[in-house]
Amino acid sequence: NNRDMKQSVILYPSAGIGHVIPMAELAKVFINHGFDVTMVIVPPFSGQFKRVAAATPSISFHVLPPDVPPPSMSSRRTSHHLTTSPAPAPASTVTLHAEDPATHLHSLVIDMFCADAIDVAARLGVPVYTFALSSASALAVLTQIPALLATSQTGLKELGDRPLEFLGVPPMPASHLIAELLEHPEEELCKTMASIFRRGMDTRGVLVNTFQSLEIRALQALSDPQCVLGKVLPPIYCVGPLVGNSARDPRARADERHECLRWLDAQPERSVVFLCFGSMGVFSQEQLKEIATGLDMSGHRFLWVVRRPASSIYDPKRFLGQQPKLDLDAVLPEGFLERARGRGLVVRSWAPQVEVLQHPATGSFATHCGWNSMLEGVMAGVPMLCWQLYAEQKMNKVFMTQDMGVGVEMEGYQTGFVKAEVVEGKVGLVITQIFCVFKKKKAGDGI
């Protein structure tokens, strides 16, 4: 009798630590409800995966052999990679678990890019659910895109910044949609992306890492029969906010806390702007120098996660394997680190973001608008500076600034270059004025 057996769930995120971290948080929910959880890890996985694995020993990780090509060098090939490479692996994983006499495989939870596993699970009679990688608002837009594409002869790129009306979200400039969807509807890239989303919604239910009061209009739209992909959508379940510390090893001793947390301990309350641009965000060297100059000019305290400069997230140089330690003096303006001593801290490549955001000294957050980062910022109650870089982040910026009221936009992102004066001005704005409003609101001033 299945009911008396231990129930297990397979979680199947696509490659990318930004996909693995929220799935690990979801895993904890299942584990707390008595399920066994196996998470399939698709190569290439970043070194950060080791942190997640160490922080969540209750999850069994099934790491796939690295027989798929390394990360693609262009967004075109990335889509191809996402749609094709993970297919064979879940077949064996799902079969293994489905046939395990000790447990009953209750369900498979996939992310949008792993829809190929739906067929495997269907063959074995295992229910499949989708874990949306982003917000309910982004989902609302994506479900309405096919109807829009069907009426477009030319592709949405032609519409430029013209605002598009979608149910449940503020007017959305066409240019802010996911880049692949802006291609001509007959272009393979556009068709592939649209079909990934269509397919990803073809499951028993869609789990969204959000909560009602944050996205009430979008959630209502998703239950509206008009907001469809030409069919009735599956039920949408709000399972958020799943914001945790999946990347923190609970066995780490207090004195092993990251140096940036110890540095924050010595800063005044709510005085530091934290700049961190997701697991993949990169800037050109010129842009890095401009940010540094802006921070210099602002005079405010800052904590900045800096990566090796690159032309884009798909820059081939990023995938050259082991690289020497990043020389900060070589990529930042001369004397910057010296001038910033005491007032600012630069961290190479990765910081414990959730802990930083929840630290009392953190007063604002310059973010690339990845959905996990946004939720983490909202839950920490810090005003955000939106500097969107890739994927659905431009849409997230619109939701953050025009609907949720949790951030302001960093002007210049449209041209691909943000000037030092803008960095200076916006950092000052969020750390002084906007934060005051937050504080008064908290104190019940009724603003």
As measured in angstroms, the least distance from the Cβ of 354 to ligand UDP is 5
According to the binding rule CB under 6 A, does residue 293 interact with ligand UDP?
A: no
According to the binding rule CB under 6 A, does residue 89 interact with ligand UDP?
A: no
As measured in angstroms, the least distance from the Cβ of 337 to ligand UDP is 19
Alpha helical stretches, state H, 325-370: 328-331, 336-340, 353-357
According to the binding rule CB under 6 A, does residue 278 interact with ligand UDP?
A: yes
Nearer to ligand UDP, 291 or 351 (CB): 351
According to the binding rule CB under 6 A, does residue 78 interact with ligand UDP?
A: no
As measured in angstroms, the least distance from the Cβ of 356 to ligand UDP is 8
What is the b/e burial string over 158-173, where b = at least 16 CB atoms within 10 angstroms of the residue's CB? Answer: ebeeeebebbbbbebb
Query: What part of residues 294-323 is at the interface with ligand UDP (CB under 6 A)?
Result: 305
Token pair, residue 439, equals 């504080």
Closest CA to 349 of 294, 280, 289: 280
According to the binding rule CB under 6 A, does residue 373 interact with ligand UDP?
A: yes
As measured in angstroms, the least distance from the Cβ of 104 to ligand UDP is 31
What is the C-alpha to C-alpha distance for residues 75 and 321, in angstroms, rounded to an integer? 20
According to the binding rule CB under 6 A, does residue 120 interact with ligand UDP?
A: no
According to the binding rule CB under 6 A, does residue 279 interact with ligand UDP?
A: yes
According to the binding rule CB under 6 A, does residue 143 interact with ligand UDP?
A: no
295 CB-near residues (< 8 Å, 6+ apart): 275, 302, 304, 340, 344, 423, 424, 427
Stretch of 156-164, 219-227, 316-324, 365-373 lying at the interface with ligand UDP (CB under 6 A):
365-373
As measured in angstroms, the least distance from the Cβ of 62 to ligand UDP is 21
Q: β-strand 384-386 against 272-276: which pairing, if any?
A: unpaired
As measured in angstroms, the least distance from the Cβ of 350 to ligand UDP is 4
Contact (CB, 8 A) for 326 and 346: no
CA distances from 357 to 30, 104, 283, 409 (A): 26, 39, 22, 19
Stretch of 146-154, 252-260, 276-284, 322-330 lying at the interface with ligand UDP (CB under 6 A):
276-284
Nearer to ligand UDP, 193 or 247 (CB): 247
Indicate which single residue of 351, 378, 406, 423 sits in contact with ligand UDP (rule: CB under 6 A). Answer: 351
Tokens 């997701």: give the residue. Answer: 278
According to the binding rule CB under 6 A, does residue 372 interact with ligand UDP?
A: yes
Stretch of 173-181, 219-227, 259-267, 277-285 lying at the interface with ligand UDP (CB under 6 A):
277-285
Token pair, residue 136, equals 């309910």
Nearer to ligand UDP, 183 or 376 (CB): 376
Token pair, residue 247, equals 């990347």
> What does DSSP assign to residue 214?
G
According to the binding rule CB under 6 A, does residue 137 interact with ligand UDP?
A: no
Q: β-strand 128-131 against 36-41: which pairing, if any?
A: unpaired
Largest CA distance in the chain: 70
According to the binding rule CB under 6 A, does residue 386 interact with ligand UDP?
A: no
According to the binding rule CB under 6 A, does residue 276 interact with ligand UDP?
A: yes
Q: Binding-site residue total for ligand UDP (CB under 6 A)?
A: 20
According to the binding rule CB under 6 A, does residue 244 interact with ligand UDP?
A: no
The alpha-carbon radius of gyration of the chain (Å, integer) is 22
Tell me the residue length of the chain. 447
What is the C-alpha to C-alpha distance for residues 154 and 160, in angstroms, rounded to an integer? 12
Stretch of 81-89, 231-239, 274-282, 437-445 lying at the interface with ligand UDP (CB under 6 A):
274-282
297 CB-near residues (< 8 Å, 6+ apart): 420, 421, 423, 424
According to the binding rule CB under 6 A, does residue 172 interact with ligand UDP?
A: no
As measured in angstroms, the least distance from the Cβ of 98 to ligand UDP is 30
Indicate which single residue of 80, 127, 146, 350 sits in contact with ligand UDP (rule: CB under 6 A). Answer: 350
Contact (CB, 8 A) for 264 and 272: yes
Nearer to ligand UDP, 97 or 359 (CB): 359
Nearer to ligand UDP, 85 or 279 (CB): 279
Contact (CB, 8 A) for 197 and 416: no
Q: β-strand 60-63 against 103-111: which pairing, if any?
A: unpaired
As measured in angstroms, the least distance from the Cβ of 291 to ligand UDP is 15
385: number of Cβ within 10 Å: 27
Site residues, ligand UDP (CB under 6 A): 16-18, 21, 247, 276, 278-280, 305, 350-354, 370-373, 376
